[in-house]
Structure 1
Amino acid sequence: MSFKIAIIGAGSVGFTKKLFTDILCVPEFRDIEFALTDMSEHNLQMIKQILDTIVASNKLPTKVTATTNRREALTGARYIISCVRVGGLEAYADDIRIPLKYGIDQCVGDTICAGGILYGQRNIPVILDFCKDIREVAEPGAKFLNYANPMAMNTWAAIEYGKVDTVGLCHGVQHGAEQIAEVLGAKSVSELDYICSGINHQTWFVDLKLNGRKIGKDELVAAFEAHPVFSQQEKLRIDVLKRFGVYSTESNGHLSEYLPWYRKRPDEITKWIDMSDWIHGETGGYLRHSTETRNWFETEFPQFLASAEKPIDPAKRSNEHASHILEALETGRVYRGHFNLKNNGVITNLPADAIIESPGFVDRFGINMVSGITIPEACAATCMASINVQRMSVHAAISGDIDLLKLAVLHDPLVGAVATPEEVWQMVDEMVVAQARWLPQYADAVPAAKERLAKSTVKTREWAGAARRNVRSIDELRAEKAALEQAV
């Protein structure tokens, strides 16, 4: 087989390498072309060196090109994969820092909540530019695979306004299943059968079987509470399981910021989180992790390059959906996964226009979703709160309507639990002004926002958050890695 895959945001070096090696685990894909594109020439050249080393070490005919010209990379592509972060870590830091001034303490801030909504405002104009290029220069009928957050908003915009065949992909379901398999004592996650349904990062294990035996709420709660690690790292998630009756796919830290109950009072936050790793709820945890990862990669690049000389091992192919979807579409070998697409009746008690995450099967005919799923009422209610915010956020990003943007932020569950309308109005003004270079649709609204900020009497505070850790130096990361290796 010979076709072209374009990866936008290929400077996300570690993730691009994973996708690349996964795809080359498919024997029929040896002769394909990968076209890498990114705004950073520096990052592009680093990842191209790594991928070229993989190709040479494995004696493959695979072609790898790299260019900052996105349209050139997309020309003739059959598949386009996006893993972009518009605004980079600079804008992301504001997504965390500015809401903290108003008492809004986020762990990740890239899906909804104040940070996720503004992230969507930065992404959506760029996503529509991608879609325009795909329609004009990619292979007819090209498929757009979006890995970038905010998943639902990006996918919603690409399908509804970009008019491109799009699927959103995430790994939260797989990670949740791995946890469940472990607490239930399964030898492998393959012993577990499950149906997960909801929306991205709020997907629920609505049906669960271990070796054909149905697993109920009480057994699952007991298993998690007995686990020596998860009982501490997933306290909030276990509490939601007890109250809702089903387990959420999303991590403790992520889930905490989608709900209005656990992060609204600083003295309560530490009760529900765990500081052993960023993903369990630390303030700005993913921002710290991302900063450390970037610094680590820059410094340790020779080691990353050396590791690329190892042979590709199909047994180590990851559970990221992209390679399995491409394999199913191209070869007809059926793949079952959980995909983000427009609902259109797949989940009976969520709106038709929402982007849902639910099971589907892939073959030569495309992605075929399992329809007629009804999720528990409490799960639907929680998803609905986010869907309404996502819908308003997408419409605001498309129209550049700053008033609609403020209403979207106001209706966010955690923001609404913490901030007053007056505080929300000022916070959005401050975020739009700070990020104006990435928000072209709000250019006309920025001068008035600056004037309002100059006259504002709303009080804020400089605050690091309830559970903040400092970014670790390279030396600290090396020492920690050495200690872990010694312990093993």
Structure 2
Amino acid sequence: MSFKIAIIGAGSVGFTKKLFTDILCVPEFKDIEFALTDVSEHNLQMIKAILDRIVEANRLPTRVTATTDRRKALEGARYVISCVRVGGLEAYADDIRIPLKYGIDQCVGDTICAGGILYGQRNIPVILDFCKDMREVAETNVKFLNYANPMAMNTWAAIEYGKVDTVGLCHGVQHGAEQIAEVLGAKSTQELDYVCSGINHQTWFIDLRLNGRPIGKDELVAAFEAHPVYSQQEKLRIDVLKRFGVYSTESNGHLSEYLPWYRKRPDEITRWIDMSDWIHGETGGYLRYSTETRNWFETEYPQFLEAASKPIDRAKRSNEHASHILEALETNRVYRGHFNVKNNGVIANLPQDAIIESPGFVDRFGINMAAGITLPEACAATCIASINVQRMSVHAAISGDIDLLKLAVLHDPLVGAVSTPEEVWQMVDEMVVAQAAWLPQYAHAVPAARERLSTSQVKTREWAGAARRSVRSIEELRAEKAALKQAG
């Protein structure tokens, strides 16, 4: 087989390498072309050198090209994968820093809440540019695989306004299944069958079977509470399991910021989170982790390049969906996964226009979703609250309507639990002004927002959050990795 895959945001080094090696685990794909594109020439050349080394080490005919000219990379592409973070870590820092001034403490801030909504405002105009290029220069029936957050908003915009065949992909379901298999004593996830459905980052294991035996709420609660690690790291998630009756795919930190109950007061935050790793609820945890990861890669790049000289081990192919979807589409080897698509009746008690995440099967005919699913009422209610925020956020990003943007943020569950309407209006003004370079659709609104900020009487505070940690130095990271290696 010979076709072209374009990866936008290919400077996301670790993830691009994983996708690349996963795809090359499919024997039929050895003769394809990967076209890498990114706004950073520096990052682009670093990842190209790594991928070239992999091709050379495995003696493959695979072609790798790299260009900052996105349109050139998309020419003739059959598949386009997006891993972009518009605004990079600079804009992301404002997604965390500014809401903290108004009492909004986020762990990740990339899905909804104040940070996720503004992230979507930055991404959506760029995604529509991607779609325009794909319609004009890619293969006629190009498929767009979106990995970038905020997943639902980006996918919604690409389908509804970009008019490109799009699927959103995430690994939350797989990670949740791995946890469940572990607490139930399974040897692997192969022993676990499940139906997981909802919306991205709020997906629910509504049917669980271990070697064919149904697993109920009480057994699952007992298994998690008995686990020596998860009982401490996933306290909030276990509490939701007890109250809702089903387990959520999302980590303690992620789930905490989609709900109005657990992060609205500092003392409550420290009660429910765990500081053993960022993902369990640390204030700005993912921002710190992302910053450290980027610094580590820049400093230790020779090690990454050396590691790329090893042969590809097909047994270590990851459970990321992309390679399996491409394999099913091109070879007709059927693949079952969980995909983000427009609802259109798949989940009966969620809005039809929403982007849902639910089981589907892939073959030569495309992605075929399993329809007729009904979520437990509490799960549906939680998802609908987020869907309403997502819908307003997408419409605001398309129209550049700052008043609609403010209403979207106001209706966010956690924002509404913490901030007053006056605080929300000022916070959005402040975020739009700070991120104006990445928000072209709001250029007309920036002068008035800046003027309102100069005369505002709304008080803010400089607050690091309930559980903030400083970015660690390279020396600290080296010492920690050495200690872990010695202990393990």
Query: What is the Cα deviation at residue 289 of structure 1?
Result: 0.2
1:429 maps to 2:396: no
Structure 2 Cα separation of the partners of residues 470 and 184 of structure 1:
36
The corresponding residue for 2:6 is 6
The corresponding residue for 1:261 is 261
The corresponding residue for 2:315 is 315
CA RMSD of aligned residues (A): 0.2
1:181 maps to 2:181: yes
The corresponding residue for 1:123 is 123
The corresponding residue for 1:18 is 18
1:353 alignment partner, SS class:
coil
Give 1:62-211 correspondences, 5 Å limit: 62-211=62-211
Q: Give the partner amino acid of 1:125.
A: P
Q: Structure 1, residues 41-93: CA drift from partner, whole Å, max 9, x if none?
A: 00000000000000000000000000000000000000000000000000000
Structure 2 Cα separation of the partners of residues 296 and 231 of structure 1:
31
1:42 maps to 2:42: yes
Q: Structure 1, residues 226-274: CA drift from partner, whole Å, max 9, x if none?
A: 0000000000000000000000000000000000000000111010000
Structure 1 Cα separation of the partners of residues 334 and 279 of structure 2:
33
Q: Structure 1, residues 103-156: CA drift from partner, whole Å, max 9, x if none?
A: 000000000000000000000000000000000000110000000000000000
1:274 maps to 2:278: no
Structure 2 Cα separation of the partners of residues 485 and 462 of structure 1:
38
The corresponding residue for 1:445 is 445
The corresponding residue for 1:415 is 415
Give 1:206-355 correspondences, 5 Å limit: 206-355=206-355
2:257 alignment partner, SS class:
helix
1:196 alignment partner, SS class:
strand
Query: What is the Cα deviation at residue 474 of structure 1?
Result: 0.3
Structure 1 Cα separation of the partners of residues 479 and 53 of structure 2:
28
The corresponding residue for 2:380 is 380
1:258 alignment partner, SS class:
coil
Q: Structure 1, residues 406-459: CA drift from partner, whole Å, max 9, x if none?
A: 000000000000000000000000000000000000000000000100000000
The corresponding residue for 2:56 is 56
Task: Give me the TM-score of the superposition, normalised by structure 1.
Answer: 1.00
Q: Give the partner amino acid of 1:118.
A: L
Q: Give the partner amino acid of 1:483.
A: A
2:205 alignment partner, SS class:
strand
Q: Give the partner amino acid of 1:286.
A: Y
Structure 2 Cα separation of the partners of residues 27 and 310 of structure 1:
17
Query: What is the Cα deviation at residue 285 of structure 1?
Result: 0.1
Structure 1 Cα separation of the partners of residues 185 and 241 of structure 2:
19
The number of aligned residues is: 488
Q: Give the partner amino acid of 2:463.
A: W
The corresponding residue for 1:460 is 460
Q: Give the partner amino acid of 1:395.
A: H
Structure 1 Cα separation of the partners of residues 446 and 6 of structure 2:
35
Structure 2 Cα separation of the partners of residues 181 and 443 of structure 1:
50
Q: Give the partner amino acid of 1:45.
A: Q
The corresponding residue for 1:479 is 479
Unaligned ranges ≥5, structure 1? none
Structure 2 Cα separation of the partners of residues 207 and 35 of structure 1:
40
Q: Give the partner amino acid of 1:119.
A: Y
Identity between Structure 1 and Structure 2 (%): 90
Structure 1 Cα separation of the partners of residues 453 and 190 of structure 2:
55
Structure 2 Cα separation of the partners of residues 267 and 173 of structure 1:
30
1:178 alignment partner, SS class:
helix
2:471 alignment partner, SS class:
coil
Structure 2 Cα separation of the partners of residues 321 and 251 of structure 1:
19
Query: What is the Cα deviation at residue 185 of structure 1?
Result: 0.2
The corresponding residue for 1:470 is 470
Q: Structure 1, residues 307-346: CA drift from partner, whole Å, max 9, x if none?
A: 0000000000000000000000000000000000000000
Structure 1 Cα separation of the partners of residues 134 and 229 of structure 2:
45
Unaligned ranges ≥5, structure 2? none
Q: Give the partner amino acid of 1:80.
A: V
